[in-house]
Amino acid sequence: MIDVAAARETFEGSDDFTVGIEEEFALVDPDTLLLVPRFDVLRHAGAADPVLSESIAGELISSEIEIRSGAGSDVEDARVRQGEARRRLFTLAREHGVALGATGTHPLSDYRDQHIIDTEHYRRVEEGLKYVAWRNNTFSVHVHVGVRGPDRAVRVCDRLRPVLPLLLAISANSPYIDGRDSGLHSGRTQLFTKSFPRCGIPDVFGSWQAWAEYVELLVRTNSIVEFTQLWWSVRPHHAFGTVEVRICDAQMTATEADGLTALIVACVRRAAAEVDAGETPPDLPARLIEENMWRAIRYGLDGKLLDLDAAAGSGGWDAIREYPAAEALDRLRAWSGADVTLPELNGAQRQRRMIDAGAAPAEVYAESLRETHATYLQETVR
């Protein structure tokens, strides 16, 4: 099921900086706020809609739904496509008595009450992972950016490794696990990237040949049978010829989802420019990047990150110091040239302010649903 040679050809023919967006939403009873298994109902109803019939997809559990923009010519085209799909999905869900949640985890429902959707792919996932799959009731946003050239795509993924914790801190939106305050800003990342195999920060591969040899090793040793069993937080996507960034929590508002998408695309473009110019900094060991990953998981934008850029200078590792994570967005904007604006407080921070004020999980989630529906349902195409 994995044709590495065909994937190489896909990258050789890929168009630079096309954009695709994938967003996962929780299916929620608007009265109880609990997860409800309504994916099949919405998928069936959406089949009559010319946009939703192409954009709705399943994602692990029957109380979750994903929508996809398809390939946009650029970030604005993808945003318009996704905006229209969101508006139609939220309208459809409301007509069927379902609310849509956009936080990285659901704060109330027990994962043991959820069911894996009945597709060949997810039956394979469940059989291979068991508890790890059952436990993964999480919701995220993925951004695909076209990158021409297989070696170039792999090197762009390598360059983005130290950027991933900054994107996670900016997007953190999941303080709850199992109905309680986890003390984390991104409980989703802890549940997913620290449980799934071949997940989180990938190794440095350096070339398509090294990547292909690794994939072929996994196939030969019966470790994987599908490319998508490589769950890294950034990966070259074999089917689309894209660099796929998978690190971010689902976003509570359309403004945040759109801004985050634009930021990611700008980061990929800058990484590609550095690769093209032969100006990428030295590749950092995973242990340093993982230190920032943990800080982003635990404290989000309220904590501090390590200045790993300093390691590329003459001072080496001795030059690494802490800086406020709240500077992450400004740092990425300065590096990538992204012209994006995001709220002063991200989703996790807004939820934490309510938690610190004594709000119960149901109250916090109700407010997040209100924010989500106020922006996604009423979204208009600009």
DSSP output for 173-203: -B-EETTEE-S-SBHHHHHHHTTSSSEESPP
pLDDT at residue 123 greater than cutoff 50: yes
> Kind of pairing, strands 64-68 and 176-177?
unpaired
Tell me, what's the pLDDT at 151? Answer: 98
pLDDT score recorded for residue 314: 64
Strand, coil or helix: 371: helix
The Cα 369–Cα 101 span in angstroms is 6
Residue 200, beta-bridge partner list: 232
pLDDT band with cut points at 50, 70 and 90 for residue 259: very high
Domain residue spans of the chain:
4-376
Question: Residue 179: left if φ>0, alpha if ψ -120 to 50, beta else—which one?
Answer: left
Q: Identify the DSSP state of 281.
A: P
pLDDT for res 319: 86
With 0.85 as the threshold, say if the pTM is over it.
Answer: yes
- Specify whether the CB–CB gap between 224 and 196 falls below 8 A: no
pLDDT band per the 50, 70, 90 thresholds, residue 379: low
Q: How far is the C-alpha of 144 from the C-alpha of 175, rounded, in Å?
A: 26
**Residues across the chain:** 382
Q: Please give the Cα distance from 56 to 69 (Å, whole number).
A: 9
- Per CATH, the number for 4-376 is 3.30.590.20
Residues sharing a CB contact under 8 Å with residue 270, sequence separation 6 or more, in sequence order: 335, 336, 337
Distance, CA of 107 to CA of 95 (rounded, Å): 24
382 pLDDT exceeds 60?
no
Band of the pLDDT at 212, cuts 50, 70, 90?
A: very high
What is the average per-residue pLDDT within 316-325? 90
Q: In sequence order, which ranges of the chain are alpha helices (DSSP H)?
A: 4-12, 39-46, 52-55, 75-95, 120-129, 131-135, 150-160, 164-171, 187-193, 208-220, 254-277, 286-299, 328-336, 347-356, 361-376
pLDDT for res 248: 98
* 380: confidence class by pLDDT, cuts 50, 70, 90: very low
In this structure, are strands 231-232 and 199-200 parallel, antiparallel, or unpaired? parallel
What is the C-alpha separation between 54 and 31, in angstroms, rounded? Answer: 30
Confidence at residue 318, expressed as pLDDT on a 0 to 100 scale: 83
Helix (H) or strand (E) holding 74: none
pLDDT for residue 376 is more than 60:
yes
| Contact between 66 and 57 (Cβ < 8 Å) | yes
Work out the angle at residue 160's Cα, subtended by the Cα atoms of residues 223 and 330, and round it to the nearest 5 degrees: 145
Q: What is the pLDDT of residues 138-177, one digit of tens each?
A: 999 999 999 999 999 999 999 999 999 999 999 999 999 9
